[in-house]
Amino acid sequence: MAFFTGPSLFNLDTTYFRQEKPPSLTTIGRSTAAFRGRCPPQARRSTTSASPEEPVSSEQGVDGCGRTTSASAEERASSEQQHACSKESPPEPVLFSRPEKRLWNSTNPYVGVKWNVPCCWDTCDPPMSDPLFKPKFNAKDGKVDRRRVATKCGRGTYHVGKGMPYNPAGKTGYAGLGYFRRWGPNFYVKVLLTMKQKDQMYVLCKKNSSSYFEGFVDDVENEFPKNLQNLLEQYLYEDNVPEKERKMLIQEARKSSEQYLSGSIPHPWNTDNAWIEIINYLVRCEKNQKVCNAFVKHDREDHVWRPWSNVHTIRDMVVHLKRHQKHSNITLEYSAHCTKE
């Protein structure tokens, strides 16, 4: 069964990097990590490399497969994942003549167009008609967290009616699971590895590609994206770190991370009963040297440290990321809109 790491929802704007010689990895507790997601064939064929020495235009972005593109993040996600997940195009959704008709308290008769595709992930929820499937919505359901992601404004809930979760952002025109793995919220995590040296912040970038590790997770508070989690475990194992210590180091790296953006966002996959919620955070290598050292020792060929112009502290970096990676179309009905400090 094919597994793909998911849509590239936010892309690092490399125009903010100074093109200077990166610091020696041996001087900063060395860190690296490999983006091992599988690009769909179409994405690979259309790839245009973005050299680390040649900044990408501010009108373009670099996605997780190494392409430069000026298309919106949602369009890239929809196009690439549609080919990775299914050859079928989505059906035509129910259209709304006015925005207020999307509200669940609207009295207008409404039945969303059914949209379900065969599971193309490692695991998926079964159909709601399965008599053995009894999910616990708005709660931790075994290894799957079905609560909404916490934001600066708190953790909201969503309505459940007749056993079905309802998208808190309103009607979408689609009913069903669509391309998603889970009924209700689907958590998409993006991790950025950083370090500070001599009053300068650096970001770890995979050569000719994205600097993020990203993917869907079920337990947002304890899991890294699968590609990052697997590499952490593999490289620490190769360094002869005992299993108990490996788990502790990975958990400490996750717990010490600094979240800078979270919540639900508009996305072409969203349905009335399944939607995406993002969590973006930083892992600081100066706080997790043993984990980062394991990466660079085993995969030092694929990554480069880039200094970020006019960014000298973690606070500067967080402010910058919030400003430049937050979608302008995240309106009030989406929880990622919250900017409360």
The string of DSSP codes covering 303-314 is: EEEEEBTT--SH
Q: Which two tokens stand for residue 51?
A: 């050299």
Give residue 310's region: left, alpha or beta (phi > 0; psi -120 to 50): left
Provide the residue ranges of all domains of the chain, joining segments of one domain with +: 99-337
Q: pLDDT (tens digit, 9 = 90+) per residue, 242-275?
A: 999 999 999 899 888 888 888 898 899 999 999 9
* Three-class DSSP category at 230: helix
* Residue 227 CA: distances (Å) to CA of 4, 5, 341: 10, 8, 31
Query: Rounded to an integer, what distance in angstroms lies between the CA atom of residue 339 and that of residue 39?
Result: 33
Q: pLDDT (tens digit, 9 = 90+) per residue, 67-116?
A: 333 334 434 444 444 445 655 678 888 888 777 788 898 788 899 999 98
The string of DSSP codes covering 91-148 is: PPPPP-SSGGGGSTT--S---PEEEE----SS--PPPTT-TT----TTSEETTEE-SP
> Angle at the Cα of 84 (from 83 to 87), degrees rounded to 5?
40
Distance linking the first and last C-alpha atoms of the chain: 42
Q: pLDDT (tens digit, 9 = 90+) per residue, 121-131?
A: 889 999 999 99
pTM score of the predicted model: 0.72
